[in-house]
Amino acid sequence: MPLQSILPQLFINGLIAGSVYALAACGFALVYYVVKFQYFSQGAILTIGAYIFFLFLNLMGLNYILAAILSIIISILAALTTNWLVYRPLRKRKAGGVPLLVASIVILIFSSSLMQALFGSSTKTLLLSNQNKVFTFGFLTITLFQIAIIILAFILFFLLFYILMRTRLGKAMRALADNKDVAQIVGINPEKIYNYTFIISAVLGGISGILIGLEQNLYPRMGVLIIIKGFISSVIGGLGSVPGAIVGGLFIGLVENIGIWFLPSSYKDVISFSIMLLFLLFRPQGILGVRMRDDN
Amino acid sequence: MITDFFISFSTYVIIYIIIVSSFNISFGFTGLVNLGHMVFFGIGAYTSAILTLHGMPWYFALILAGLFTSLIGAAIAAITVRLKGDYFQIVTLGLVFIAIAISRNWISLTRGALGLPGIPPIIKDNFNYMLFTFLVCVICLAFFYWLTKSETGKIFQAIRDDETAASILGKNTYFYKVLSITISTFFAGIAGSLFVHFIKFVDPSIFDLDFFVIILTMLVAGGLASITGSIIGVVSLAITSEALRFVVVNPELIGPVRHMSLMLILILILIYRPRGILGKVNV
């Protein structure tokens, strides 16, 4: 098939993958922006969200809306627990970026071992996945869940912007991100805002975990693979910028999926990492041109 | 039975000591948080495996594994140590996923996900092989002790503590950072070669982050910038992790539970004792 006729399909696939990456990336970027560390354990939240959804939907037979709400609540609890047990004590002892980074990677790998211990290492399929409808328009094929992913992702991006730009909470977050000391002087309690930040990113993480579970099935390492892409998106868009993470996610999704026309599909990871490396070397501020961090 | 177990356990511990103390050279002494250190272990393993499977004698393969690994390490370091702050860690973490993708897809060389079985052992008898790895380990440790006491080692530590000051004093910090990565990846490659001739099999899972987290726990538990600390860290955690075999009844759970307990130990050390057992600096 010539490239022209398959291009729309590759574009749609890229848009779907890109929305997933962007969803994972914006939770990561939000925490990086406000709390200032590389929040890899967003991948753990994502895995937990997906597996809890599986537990309620498949094993306990709950209604899917109820299962989704419960798994988002548990994702939030998981994020708050990691903050409470690990990140806050580390911040309290004034740890630099490295311990926080190491801790977040460890929590990420921990979640995959935990899911392996609890649910086994085999791939799980969500019950809802059977009810997927396929739509065909000429050369183009897209499933119901893929449409849902794109629409939901854009609704969530819009809500996130609304919170960041139009609410008091968003204002406090931006103030903390700009200058923590000054924010504290005007009466913003950083720990409280950090908790809200973790909650918002956990909602994003839980929802994207469920969507990814519906689209690609569940396996213990899913969080690791997705958050790495989210993280690459975040670097390419501009580390520490929420709009950057979304732009970067969509960009990486499109480039990977159009790139596999030229390369074997398993080289997707190499494509995105090479692009990240090029960005780090020649444009470290990312697509949207975020100022580079100079505090370590 | 018991002696077989003891011999293979000791061999693992000896190889881990080499890999962890080589990691300490870049992470602990020079302050370069190379999150892709285990990639170089894997490159050493693959190099040695491929060379001996093509009929090269093991001593060539062992040395070439070290040299080739350090060559790649030097090339990567030459590009990446200039990156500021977090970006060095980010790129080195990225190496893990690039290595996995390449080893899975370069089928003609690595047989992809199937892995390379039937790697010839260096010494057939396990007890003698343990003695051999012990000998190599002693040579490596002697070099590490010498290096860290030497002027070069002092410059590494100066760069870790204050890079600007080190460069004001006329030290070429870029050169020494690349040198540090080159040395530490050389020994990672040697350790990879020793490891692969012991387990006689290699596949892309050697690059997995799970393995890296174990090495990292051993390093941080022993303490940064202390070779003795690394030895103690490896031995104590290896014993702890083996002891879990007697606590966990379900054989399917041993792997994940071991991993999780090591990770919990790492988190606790990060929070309550960032210097580990003998460390000179905080993580």
Question: Is position B142 within any domain?
Answer: yes
Do B243 and B160 share a structural domain? no
Per DSSP bridges, beta strands A134-137 and B201-202 are unpaired
DSSP-derived secondary structure letter, B116:
E
Instruction: Give domain status of residue B213, yes or no.
Output: yes
Nearest CA of chain A to the CA of B48: how many Å? 24
**Cβ distance of A106 and B263 shorter than 8 Å:** yes
Q: What's the pLDDT at B257? A: 86
Is residue B128 in some structural domain?
Answer: yes
Domain range for B163: 11-207
Do the Cβ atoms of A38 and B86 come within 8 Å? yes
Contact A106 B213 (CB under 8 A): yes
B91 within 8 A of B99, measured Cβ to Cβ: no
| Beta carbons of A105 and B270 less than 8 Å apart | no
Q: Is A90 on the interface with B (CB under 8 A)?
A: yes
Q: What is the pLDDT of residue B166?
A: 85
A35 touches chain B (CB under 8 A): no
Helices vs strands, H then E, count in chain B? 12, 2
Q: Dihedrals φ, ψ of A122, to 5°?
A: -75, 160
Question: What mean pLDDT comes out for the span B163-170?
Answer: 85
B93 in the same domain as B28: yes
A270 touches chain B (CB under 8 A): yes
Amino acid (1-letter code) at residue A259: G
A98: nearest CA partner in chain B: B283
**Token couple for A77:** 């609890």
Task: Give pLDDT tens digits for B250-259.
Answer: 777 888 888 8
Please report which confidence band the pLDDT of residue A296 belongs to, taking 50, 70 and 90 as the band edges: very low
**pLDDT value, residue A233:** 92
Report the run of H or E that residue A272 belongs to, with start and end: helix A268-282
The answer to whether the CB atoms of B79 and A107 lie below 8 A apart is no
End residue of a domain, out of B207, B241, B269: B207
The set of residues, in sequence order, having a beta carbon less than 8 Å from that of A251 and lying 6+ positions away, is A18, A233, A236, A237, A287
- Contact with chain B for residue A278, Cβ under 8 A: no
Q: Which residues does chain B have within 8 Å of residue A31's beta carbon, measured at their own beta carbons?
A: none
pLDDT at A11 over 80: yes
Claim to verify: residue B18 and residue B138 sit in the same structural domain: yes
Which residue in B has a C-alpha nearest to residue A234's C-alpha?
Answer: B90
> Does some domain include residue B4?
no
Q: B154, B172, B207 — which closes off a domain? A: B207
- The reply to whether residue A105 touches residue B33, judged by beta carbons under 8 angstroms, is no
Q: Is the model more confident about A5 or about A231?
A: A231
The domain boundary residue, chosen from B207, B235, B267: B207
Please give the pLDDT value at position B232. Answer: 93
B159 and B248 housed in the same domain: no
Q: In the prediction, which pLDDT does A168 show?
A: 93
CA-angle at A62, arms to A60 and A66, nearest 5°: 135
CA separation for the pair B177, B182 (Å, rounded): 9
C-alpha A273: how far from chain center? 17
How confident is the model at residue A1, as a pLDDT?
60
A286 neighbors A235 (Cβ within 8 angstroms): yes
Contact across the interface for B105 and A266, Cβ inside 8 Å: yes
A275 and B CB contact within 8 Å:
no
| CB < 8 Å to A224, chain B | 209
Q: What is the pLDDT of residues B28-67, one digit of tens each?
A: 899 888 999 999 999 999 999 999 988 888 888 899 999 9
Which whole number is the average pLDDT over A158-185? 92
Confidence category of residue A291, pLDDT binned at 50, 70, 90:
low
| pLDDT at res. B125 | 84
For the residues A82-109, what does the mean pLDDT come to? 90
Alpha carbons within 13 A on the beta-carbon side of B174:
8
Average pLDDT over residues A134-155: 87
Q: Is residue B22 part of a domain?
A: yes
Tell me if B82 is assigned to some domain. Answer: yes
DSSP-derived secondary structure letter, A284? T
Per the CB < 8 Å rule, is A296 touching B266? no
Determine, for residues A270 and B98 on separate chains, whether the beta-carbon distance falls below 8 Å. yes
Residues B185 and B270 in one domain: no
Residue B5 lies in a domain: no
Which residue of chain B is at minimal alpha-carbon distance from A113? B256
Mutation test of the interface with chain A: which of B97, B257, B261, B272, choosing the one with the most A Cβ atoms within 10 A? B97
Give yes or no for A67 touching B (CB within 8 A).
Answer: no
Domain co-membership, B223 together with B172: no
**Closest Cβ–Cβ partner in A103, A264, A276 for B270:** A103
Residues of B with CB under 8 A from a CB of A: 33, 35, 79, 83-87, 89-91, 93-94, 97-98, 100-102, 104-105, 209-210, 213, 216, 220, 252-253, 255-257, 259-260, 263-264, 266-267, 270-271, 274, 282-283
Residue A295 has pLDDT above 80, yes or no: no
Say whether both B175 and B218 belong to one domain. no
Q: Identify the H or E element spanning B202.
A: strand B201-202
B1 assigned to some structural domain:
no
Mean pLDDT (chain B, rounded): 89
Q: What is the ipTM of this complex?
A: 0.87
Residues B201 and B239 in one domain: no
Contact flag A110-B98 (C-beta cutoff 8 Å): no
Measure A227 CA to nearest chain B CA, in Å: 12
Helix (H) / strand (E) element for A86: namely none
pLDDT at A2 over 70: no
Higher per-residue pLDDT: A166 or B166: A166
Which residue(s) pair with A283 in the sheet?
Answer: none
Of B275, B157, B145, the C-alpha closest to B221 is B275
Question: How many domains, in total, are found in chain B?
Answer: 2
What is the residue-averaged pLDDT of chain A?
A: 88
Say if residue B211's pLDDT is above 50: yes
- Using pLDDT thresholds of 50, 70 and 90, give the confidence band for residue A83: very high
- Give the model confidence (pLDDT) of A193-207 as tens digits: 999 999 999 999 999
Helices B173-199/B151-161 angle, 10° precision: 110
